[in-house]
Amino acid sequence: MTGSAVWHPFTQHALEPPMKRITKTEGAYLIDEDGSHVLDAISSWWVITHGHRHPVIMAAIRAAAQRYDQLIFAEYTHAPAEELAGGLIALAPPGLAYAFYSDSGSTSVEVALKMALGFFHNRGEKRNRIVVMEHSYHGDTIGTMSTGERGVFNAAYEQLLFAVDKLPFPEAGREQETLDVFEHLCRSGDVAALLVEPLVVGAGGMKLFSSSVLSQLKTIADRHEVLLIADEVMTGWGRTGTVFACAQAAITPDILCTSKGLTGGALPLAATLCRAEIFEAHLSTDRRKTFFHSSSYTANPIACAAAVANLAVWRDEPVQARIDALAEMHRERLARFAYDPRFENVRQLGTIAALDLKAAAGGYLAEVGPKLRAFFRQRNLLIRPLGNVVYLMPPYCITATELDSAYEAIDEAAYHFGVSA
């Protein structure tokens, strides 16, 4: 026993030291029980966009808590949910018409999968195959594990997972192979949907692919009447440089999943946006065509109020200018590693920067991963590498000096743990 009854996520307690308690969050920092300020260089698992405890969002939460707690959304509606749905539809790629609320990124994708399968089922079409991209991660519920990369994460649950078809990742110079495989799969006539993280395969290693590939995948999907589901849980809310990554390919997905930055990271909330045709396929006097999905906390009013406030921050503050400035700061600082023999695949998209440390072994379970994390922790930096893949995804309020401290630590860590060419 560690003295705590808490079981932490993605944590091997037999190997990890006791966790420090965070007593406060502020701006780009977590403040621990010793009073140390820890730079949150990964936005606490990619959720904090503007910075911790943004005053506009915090004020909205306090105000909503004076009027609401949870209420049954299958029986009633409320102003924060209505205002948020309208705001999301206005901000999202044009053509999306309805918003279905849930609680997390995983559930938003589960909802999307059920929407797609229900769409064809209710129309009497036998389409039930789901196509995904190699290396993808979409969550830890059964449906999202099924659509994600198979491996150590889900080996114990294999008997629960359903089969999907995979596209090879569109590596630079091999993009046509990905497109050809998708075209071949679609010709079968029984593919319901393509589920993809647009432009960035996140937990699979921060692997980037071009917007032209995404655009061509949408063209193929449309030609074969296959739905495209964009998992924008991580890529949304400015991470790739635009509000949603799909904008860079000038496409509107049939279904779009959003969470994480939806409330600025303040509270858990998710939304799955869809085209009108998908809603209408479930609209019937036949109750069997109802969309049968919910959770107890669907459309929590306080969380919805936080998300409405987030929309106001995007409207009233120079958020895009902050994103552009952060992207430029990344570009300037990554340049030092471009030809560094200790690293390879130095890359960036918007506010996301990543580089692979050359190590004895790669992959998520690479031995260097925990060593790097402990090294950064000692320097009061929250940087959580994906094995040998070191990445930064800080909140947009980070300063140049704060970002410098992260890059200096990465440089120093490479001397301790890297393998030069």
CATH number, position 306: 3.40.640.10
Residue 215 counted as domain residue:
yes
In the structure, what pLDDT confidence band is assigned to residue 389 with cuts at 50, 70 and 90? Answer: very high
The confidence score (pLDDT) of residue 421 equals: 45
Reduced to 3 states (helix: H, G, I; strand: E, B; else coil), residue 250 is coil
The confidence score (pLDDT) of residue 1 equals: 43
The confidence score (pLDDT) of residue 365 equals: 81
Which pLDDT tens digit goes with each residue over 267-299? 999 999 999 999 999 999 999 999 999 999 999
Residue 377 counted as domain residue:
yes
Averaged over 224-234, what is the pLDDT? 98
Task: Report the run of H or E that residue 167 belongs to, with start and end.
Answer: strand 165-167
Averaged over 37-58, what is the pLDDT? 98
CATH number, position 377: 3.90.1150.10
The confidence score (pLDDT) of residue 363 equals: 79
Residue 397: phi and psi, rounded to 5, are: -85, -5
Residue 19 counted as domain residue:
no
In the structure, what pLDDT confidence band is assigned to residue 366 with cuts at 50, 70 and 90? Answer: confident
244 plus 139 within the same structural domain: yes
In the structure, what pLDDT confidence band is assigned to residue 2 with cuts at 50, 70 and 90? Answer: low
The encoded tokens of residue 176 equal: 């046509």
The encoded tokens of residue 71 equal: 């209420």
Q: Angle 64-70-73 (CA atoms, 0-180°, nearest 5)?
A: 110
Dihedral of CA 16/20/25/28: which sign? negative
186 plus 312 within the same structural domain: yes
253 plus 376 within the same structural domain: no
Residue 344: phi and psi, rounded to 5, are: -145, 165
Please give the Cα distance from 299 to 69 (Å, whole number): 11
The confidence score (pLDDT) of residue 419 equals: 77
Is the pLDDT score of 378 beyond 70?
yes
413 plus 305 within the same structural domain: no
Averaged over 226-234, what is the pLDDT? 98
Q: How do the residues of the chain divide into helix, strand and coil, expressed in percent and rounded to 5?
A: 40, 20, 45
Q: Mean pLDDT in the chain?
A: 96
Please give the Cα distance from 196 to 165 (Å, whole number): 12
DSSP assignment of 325-378: HHHHHHHHHHGGGTT-TTEEEEEEETTEEEEEEP-SS-STT-THHHHHHHHHHH
Where a domain ends, among 316, 335, 357? 316
331 plus 303 within the same structural domain: no
How far from the centroid of its chain's Cα atoms is residue 181's Cα? 25
394 plus 299 within the same structural domain: no
Please give the Cα distance from 365 to 367 (Å, whole number): 6
Please give the Cα distance from 421 to 401 (Å, whole number): 30
100 plus 234 within the same structural domain: yes
Lowest mean pLDDT among 137-141, 201-205, 416-420: 416-420
Domain of 276 in residue numbering reads as 57-316
In the structure, what pLDDT confidence band is assigned to residue 196 with cuts at 50, 70 and 90? Answer: very high
CA-nearest of 118, 96, 338 to 236 is 96
Q: Angle 192-236-349 (CA atoms, 0-180°, nearest 5)?
A: 105
The encoded tokens of residue 385 equal: 């590498």
In the structure, what pLDDT confidence band is assigned to residue 313 with cuts at 50, 70 and 90? Answer: very high
Is the pLDDT score of 413 beyond 80?
yes
Please give the Cα distance from 345 to 339 (Å, whole number): 10
Type of residue at 204 = G
137 plus 267 within the same structural domain: yes
Residue 241 counted as domain residue:
yes
Please give the Cα distance from 392 to 43 (Å, whole number): 9
Task: Report the run of H or E that residue 194 belongs to, with start and end.
Answer: strand 191-196
Where a domain ends, among 288, 316, 344? 316
Residue 33 counted as domain residue:
no
Please give the Cα distance from 347 to 249 (Å, whole number): 19
| CA-to-CA separations, 307 to 5, 94, 334, in angstroms, rounded | 32, 20, 33
Residue 44 counted as domain residue:
no
Averaged over 408-420, what is the pLDDT? 90
- Based on the structure, what is the number of domains in the chain? 2
Residue 73 counted as domain residue:
yes
CA-nearest of 279, 272, 238 to 253 is 272
Where a domain ends, among 247, 282, 316? 316
259 plus 345 within the same structural domain: no
Residue 24 counted as domain residue:
no
310 plus 323 within the same structural domain: no
236 plus 135 within the same structural domain: yes
350 plus 288 within the same structural domain: no
